Amino acid sequence: MTKILQLTTYPTRYPRHGGQLRAHHTARVLEESGYILDRMPVFSQSLYPRGGEDPAVDLDQARTKRRFRDTWQVMDLTTCELAAVDNTCFQKFADRIQASDADILMLEEPWLWPAVWRWRDSLSAPPPVVYNAYNIEYRAKAAMLVEAKVSGADDICADVEALERDLTQCAAGSSATTAEDAATMQAWTENRVVVARNGTILRKVEHLHHILPVPLEPCQKFLLFVGSGQPPNFTGFWDMVIPALSTLRAGERIVVAGSVSQLIESRIEKDGPLCMARDRLILLGQVNDLTLECLLCNAAGILLPITYGGGSNLKTAEALISGLPIVGTTHAFRGFEEYKSLPAVTIEDDPTAFAVGIRRAFNSKGSPRAIHLQKQLLWESTLQPIVDLVSTIAS
């Protein structure tokens, strides 16, 4: 049987954020397709103190050597390259790969490529590499660095682009989450690039009606936004949803779950209290799966206010499969364009029009998605192109 060594830059057995979820389900779907998966997470333990999984190579001790230490937006680049440039880390990295004796190496995101390249360079017949790209990273980094007014952004982005191009050229095959990203990558290589968009799972939540986390009450109607602490989540929410708070009526709320809550709270404290936010915005922070399912069961709708960023939005698949009314942006539907015309889906890119969409969502009802639409959104379906790609390479 074909053995795949999956290299990630975070723990994946108990996934929380989008990258962890995609890597986790990629491994699961490949295992269910008959492959042997060896998971090799390489990360700084201090960044995931409650990850539930130890790193195969802990980069903590080498972090003082990383480049751009004051630029957190590129921490994934500068921390992971320590696996290649720090000799102690690299030896542990090389020993772990060698011990795996895998037939195929699978890189989730590009950040560990320098270490993989250094290891492969000493071999006469290294195993083929599959590259699973979640974004065109240099574009995503450029948007974040420009927004943060980071000096030297062009040079940093040039490094990221060179890394992506080299990995795509050297990989036996690659995947992207959108057709647009795949076209960019295909221009870099003669090898195959497939589109495997983000997916979701089907949740059974009907039994959780009227079960809500504090301070929500069953008499309140709310729209739900779920997001990590990535800048596109915060910026989109602040620009598109905050202006709409003044249109909410008594008993209506906007509920935010995920680590983006901390960014929103910090901005409100920095800019002074928003009187409209005091009783209309509820920031729950990170929540467990049961709480998320309670929120999805009781929400009046879901918000997808993403205005920039790369790849496709994992939360879009979850919103679509829920059957709830959705108010989103064009950017939030990258990779899911064919679903924009579904009933109860509103797409607006102007804050004023987005506020009108929010008002419409409070006044409308969703409906269960057709079975064939649900199946299209499940990870088993969206990741099938990666399974097919691996099958071709393995044979």
Nearest one of 357, 360, 307 to 329, comparing CA atoms: 307
- Closest by Cα among 358, 317, 347 to 335: 317
CB atoms within 10 A of CB 243: 14
CA–CA dist 81, 113 (Å, integer): 8
Max alpha carbon distance in the chain (Å)?
70
Q: Among residues 298, 220, 221, 223, which one has the least CA distance to residue 256?
A: 223
- Give the chain's domain count: 2
Specify the pLDDT at position 63. 79
Q: Within 13 Å, how many C-alpha atoms sit on residue 245's CB side?
A: 19
The answer to whether the peptide bond before residue 368 is cis (omega within 30 degrees of 0) is: no
Residue 367 sits in the same domain as residue 383: no
Task: Tell me: do 348 and 387 sit in the same domain.
Answer: no
Whether residues 339 and 368 fall in one domain: yes
Residues 348 and 284 in one domain: yes
The answer to whether residues 281 and 194 belong to one domain is no
Q: Regarding beta strands 173-176 and 252-257, do their DSSP bridges make them parallel or antiparallel, or are they unpaired? A: unpaired
Range of the domain at 282: 206-377
**What is residue 367's predicted lDDT score, i.e. its pLDDT?**
78
Per the CB < 8 A criterion, the answer to whether 27 and 130 are in contact is no
Structure confidence at residue 268 (pLDDT): 86
Nearest CA among 84, 89, 148 for reference residue 111? 84
CATH number for the domain including 86? 3.40.50.2000
Q: What is the DSSP letter of 378?
A: B
* pLDDT tens, per residue, the chain with 395 residues: 899 999 999 999 888 888 999 999 999 999 999 999 999 999 998 888 876 889 999 998 887 888 888 888 888 999 999 999 999 999 999 999 999 999 999 999 999 999 999 999 988 899 999 999 999 999 999 988 988 898 888 999 999 999 999 999 999 999 999 999 999 999 999 999 999 999 999 988 888 888 998 888 888 999 999 998 888 899 999 999 999 998 999 899 999 999 999 999 988 888 765 655 667 899 999 999 899 999 999 999 999 999 987 788 889 999 999 999 999 999 999 999 999 999 899 999 999 999 999 999 999 887 778 788 889 999 999 999 999 999 999 98
Same domain for 344 and 249:
yes
Q: Are residues 170 and 276 in the same domain?
A: no
Q: Are 29 and 176 members of one domain? A: yes
Instruction: Say whether both 345 and 251 belong to one domain.
Output: yes
Q: Are residues 117 and 9 in the same domain?
A: yes
**Distance between CA atoms of 312 and 232, rounded to whole angstroms?**
12
Could you tell me which residues are beta bridge partners of residue 282? 255
Q: What is the pLDDT of residue 272?
A: 66
Q: Which pLDDT does position 51 carry in this prediction?
A: 67
The phi, psi pair for 95, rounded to 5°, reads: -65, -40
Judge if 45 and 153 occupy the same domain.
yes
pLDDT of residue 68: 85
What pTM was estimated for this model as a whole? 0.92
**Amino acid present at 231:** P
Is the same domain home to 229 and 301?
Answer: yes
